[in-house]
Each structure stands twice: as structure tokens, then as C-alpha cells.
Amino acid sequence: MAGLLVGCTSPPQRAVSVAIQPMSSLADQAVRIQITGLGAGELGMGLIWSMRALKPDPAGAYYWSGPVPRAFTLAVSVHGTQAASASFQRRFSPGVVTETTDSLKADGFVGEFLRPAHTGPGRPAVLVLGGSEGGLPGALLPGLLASNGYAALGVAYFREPGLPQTLSGIPLEYFAQALRWLGRQPGVDPARIAVLGISRGSEAAQLLGAYYPNLVHAVIASVPSNVAGCSYPGCTGPAWTRHGRALPYTSEIGSPSPTDDPAAVIPDQRIAGPVFLDCGEADRTWPSCRYARAIISLLNAHHDHWAHVLYAYPGAGHPVGTFVPYEPYSLAAMAGDPGYATDQRALALLWPQLLSFLAGLAGHPTG
């Protein structure tokens, strides 16, 4: 990949140079890029997340391949003439991340399991759930978690062969089976398992924490809702069931205190572990910050003794819930997100907070 920076509108007064530190880094680590010799310039990781692919690629700007480094070249041009360039390398992970595909027939759920190359004593693990797009949540977020030492299981719960094709009547028992499977994997401490749910997946994450406290020891609800919503697409019934019965749900999208069924408020006070929340103040999908603050209020009202944190980002939208920093979107996705730059800056701040939360879980006594 080549990055292009147009630095100024007047000729440079001295030799242009590019300094990059570190010269080799991981995909979720910041790189300091400093350009000197121009009248004006920019410092920061924006030169990475604003890249454009040299060839059309609807999935994104580039593909990662575990510990194999990718070379990047930054070229600085002034008035159409290249004035300086520098190259650096980035890797997705410090070691090999092993990926296993889990099937409905063999394992009872559809998922992708990514584990660190080297697993020591039992460590926290994360069950990752996507949102209303359905299908598998992809390998990028679970892979980055594994790169940082946390085994991660991404699970599909609809819109995959053998599963419901809509978010409708999804049994919590399905996720519980995946949680038990995750707890049996080598290197995983079954007493330190977190569920990370994004958007509609945040509802499932909270419900699992509330109804399966013996399986879930921390909840990460990203751009969340504090209520269980109706089926999607088409608000015709419950999204979630338990023991074959519909869980209370609401069709009042955007209301943290629904009037059609007040019982649709998720009983987060039952979660037996810390809760991590994040949201975008400019979320146009739903008011994730209003929802997140309602969750905090509920926990405070019940004098919940576990740690619960909320990271709210002004100007950021729903995409801040993806967690993955420094990752260019496809051109179509960039065009469809007017707050793309703000979202990317928020992601760079949010990702270290998530890793800090998981590190706290790793150091928390079991039991």
C-alpha cells in the first residue's frame, strides 16, 4: 500500500523528510509519523485509516495474514513531485493465531474460534456476538483479541445455514452451549469468560449475563440497548427466547423506558461481574448513549458492587462499536459514514480501554 500526503501549497523551504516510529508495529498499535520540511503537515494515524486501496477491494483496503508483516510506503508529494518517502511494517499479531471453524452439527453452534499461539495458565476468553447484520462477526475483532492473549469465539446466531434467517426467537440456550464449549478449551479459565455483544448483540450479551451468571463473568455491551427489542427485520415477535418462551420485548425503538412492556428492560443488576459500555453521542442507528446511561443508572440504583464503566464519544456514531482501530474501511463504507474520521479517532481511544478492562478481568480472583 502507498499513502499519499499533499503537504502544502508553496515550495518547501528545506529538505523534506519522513520519520516513522516504530518501524515495525502491530495492527492495533499507534505509529508516530512526522513529516518535516513542509509549511504545514499532519501528524497521526489518520494516514493509515484514511488509506485507499490501489486495487478495488469491496472488503476493505488490505488483508492481514497473522504474524507475516505487511510493508507500507508513505510518499510525500509537493506540487505533484515526490519530495520524500519512507517504508514501515505492520503485523496483525506477534505470533500465530490459530483459527478453528465450529459447526452446528458437530458443536451445536456456528462459530469461529481464534486462540493465541502460546497459551499459559487459564486466562480470560471472550464470546463475540455481532449485531443485526447477522452471520459470523468476522475474524478481525476475535483475531485482535487473540493477538493480545485472549481466546475469542465469534458466534453466528442467525443468517447462516442451519440457523434462523432473521433475528427472531433466538434461544439463549444456543449461546449457553457455546459458552460451555469455550470454557472447556485449553488455556481458557471457565471462571473468567466475558461476552462481548455489538448493537443488537449487546442485548444477548446482557441477557446471558443476567440469566447465566455461572457461565458469564463479565459483559461488554458495545453501542448497546438496555432493552430487549422485537424481531428484525419486521417487528412481529420476540428476538430472544428462554426455555421455549418469549422474553419480554419492546417495539419502541429508542426508548430506554418502554411503555408497551416495561419488563423488556434487561435485568442487568443480575449480572455477576463487571460491565463495560461504550457509545457514540452522534449515533444515528439508535440512541446508544441514552441506552448505556440507563444501564449505568440501573446498576447504580441496585448498588451493584462490580465495576461498571461507560466510554461515550462526542461526535462518534454507531461504527464506534466495532472496536477495531486503524483499519481502513471500503470506499463505499467510508462514503456512507459522514463521521468516519471522528469514529476512527474514537476507536483509537476505545481499544486500549477494552484491553485494560480485560486485563483487570485476568487479574480478578476466580470464584
Plot region of 337 (φ>0 → left; ψ -120 to 50 → alpha; else → beta): beta
Tens of pLDDT, residues 129-187 = 999 999 999 999 999 999 999 999 999 999 999 999 999 999 999 999 999 999 999 99
Q: In the 8-state DSSP scheme, what is residue 183?
A: H
Cα–Cα distance measured from residue 126 to residue 360, given in angstroms and rounded to the nearest whole number = 14
- Tens digit of pLDDT for each residue in 308-351? 999 999 999 999 999 999 988 776 677 778 899 999 999 999 99
- Give the whole-angstrom CA distance, residue 153 versus residue 6: 42
Q: How far apart are CA 18 and CA 83, in angstroms?
A: 10
Name the residue among 285, 17, 306, 1 with its Cα closest to residue 298.
306
- 62 band by pLDDT with thresholds 50, 70 and 90: low
Q: Is the predicted pLDDT of residue 366 greater than 50, yes or no?
A: no
Query: What pTM was computed for the model?
Result: 0.91
Question: pLDDT of 79-125, one tens digit each?
Answer: 888 889 999 999 988 888 899 999 999 999 999 999 998 767 789 99
Domains of the chain are 2-91 (no CATH), 98-362 (3.40.50.1820)
